[in-house]
Chain A
Amino acid sequence: MQVKAPDRTAAAHRAGPEDRPARRPRTTGPLWRSRTLQGIGYAAPTAVYVAVFFVLPLLLVGQMSLSDWPLIAGDQGRNAPENFTDVTDSTLFWPAVRFTLLYTAIVTVVLLGLALLLALLVQESRPGAGFFRTVYFLPGALGLASASLLFWGLYSPTTGPLSRTLEKLGLVDDPVSFLGTPTSALLSTVFLVVWKFAGFYMLILLVGLQRVPHELYEAARMDGASRGQIFRGITLPLLRPSLALSLLLCVTGSLLAFDQFFVLTKGGPDNSTVTVVQLIYREAFQRLNLGTAAALSILVLAALLLLNVLQFRGLHRADES
Chain B
Amino acid sequence: MGSPTGSHGPVRRLVTTAVALLATAGLLTACGSGEDGKDDGGGGGGSAANANGVDDGSTLTMWTRAATRPQSEALVKAYNDSHKNKVELTVIPTDDYQAKVGAAAGSRDLPDLFASDVVFVPNYTSSGLFADLTDRIDGLPFADKLAQSHIKAGTYEGKKYVVPHTLDLSVLFYNKDLYRKAELDPEKPPTTLAEWDRQARAVDALGGDVNGTFFGGNCGGCGVFTWWPSIWAAGEDVLNKDGTAATLDSPTARKVYDTYRRWVDDDIVAPGARDETGATWTGVFPKGKVGVMPMPSTTLGLMPKDLDLGVAPIPGPDGGKATFVGGDSIGIAATSKKTDQAWNFLAWSVGDKAQVDVVAAHKDVVARTDLASNKYSDADPRLVTINQLVSDGHTPYALKFGQTFNDPNGPWLTLMRDAVFGDGANVKKDNEAVSASLAD
Contact = CB atoms under 8 A, between A and B. Distances in A.
Interface of A: 2-3, 6-7, 10, 14, 53-54, 57-58, 60-61, 64, 69-75, 92, 156-159, 174-175, 177, 179-180, 252, 256, 266-271, 274, 277-278, 280-282, 284-288, 290, 293-294, 297, 300-301, 304-305, 308-309, 312, 316
A265 to B, nearest CB: 8
Contacts of B280: 156, 158-159
Nearest to B103: A71
Interface of B: 2, 4, 7-8, 13-14, 16-18, 20-39, 98-99, 102-103, 105-106, 123-124, 127, 129, 218, 270-272, 274-277, 280, 283-284, 402-403, 406-410, 413-414, 417, 440
B127 A73 contact: yes
A285 B414 CA distance: 19
B409 A92 contact: yes
Contact of B22 (A54, A293, A297): A54
A72 B41 CA distance: 12
**Residue among A92, A174, A309 with the most chain B CB within 10 A?**
A309
B32 A274 contact: no
Given A158-B271, A297-B32, A308-B17, A3 B8 contact: yes
A79 to B, nearest CB: 14
Contacts of B16: 2-3, 6
23 contacts: A10-B2, A53-B26, A72-B102, A73-B39, A75-B38, A156-B280, A157-B272, A175-B271, A177-B272, A252-B21, A268-B409, A271-B414, A282-B407, A282-B409, A285-B99, A287-B403, A288-B123, A290-B32, A297-B32, A301-B28, A304-B21, A304-B24, A305-B18
A157 B275 contact: yes
Contact of B25 (A269, A278, A280, A304): A304
Nearest to B13: A3
B214 to A, nearest CB: 9
A68 to B, nearest CB: 13
A243 to B, nearest CB: 17
A162 B294 CA distance: 28
A72 B105 contact: yes
A256 B27 contact: yes
A274 B274 CA distance: 18
B33 A72 contact: no
B34 A69 contact: yes
Q: Which 4 A-B pairs have the closest CB atoms?
A: A285-B99, A158-B272, A71-B102, A266-B408
B31 A297 contact: yes
Contacts of B284: 158
Given A286-B410, A297-B28, 5 more contacts: A60-B29, A177-B272, A267-B409, A270-B414, A308-B21
Interface of B is mostly: helix
Contacts of B35: 74
B409 A271 contact: yes
Contact of A64 (B18, B34, B409): B34
A175 B275 CA distance: 12
A269 B39 contact: no
B32 A286 contact: no
A10 B103 contact: no
A61 B32 contact: yes
Contact of A267 (B7, B33, B408): B408
A285 B25 contact: no
Contacts of A252: 21, 24
**Residue among B2, B28, B276, B406 with the most chain A CB within 10 A?**
B28
Contacts of B275: 156-157, 177, 179-180, 269
A75 B36 contact: yes
Contact of A293 (B18, B31, B124): B31
Contacts of B25: 256, 300-301, 304-305
A73 B286 CA distance: 43
Contacts of A61: 28-29, 32-33
Nearest to B14: A309
A13 B99 CA distance: 50
B274 A269 contact: yes
B34 A286 contact: no
A60 B31 CA distance: 12
Contact of B407 (A256, A286, A312): A286
B338 to A, nearest CB: 22
B218 A268 contact: yes
B378 to A, nearest CB: 36
A316 to B, nearest CB: 7
Given A268-B408, A269-B417, A309 B29 contact: no
Contacts of A14: 4
Contacts of A297: 28-29, 31-32
B98 A285 contact: yes
B102 A288 contact: yes
A72 B122 CA distance: 13
A74 B28 contact: no
A54 B17 contact: no
B28 A7 contact: no
**Residue among A174, A266, A304 with the most chain B CB within 10 A?**
A266
A294 B32 contact: yes
B268 to A, nearest CB: 14
Contacts of B18: 305, 309
A256 B218 CA distance: 25
Contacts of B26: 53-54, 57-58
A169 to B, nearest CB: 17
Contacts of A281: 31
Given A57-B29, A271-B414, A304-B24, A156 B272 contact: yes
A256 to B, nearest CB: 7
Contacts of A53: 26
B13 A284 contact: no
Nearest to A175: B271
B29 A54 contact: yes
Contacts of A309: 14, 17-18, 21
**Residue among A53, A64, A158 with the most chain B CB within 10 A?**
A158
B31 A284 contact: yes
Contact of B37 (A54, A74, A269): A74
B9 to A, nearest CB: 11
Nearest to B402: A286
Contacts of A268: 218, 277, 408-409, 413
Contacts of A280: 28, 31-32
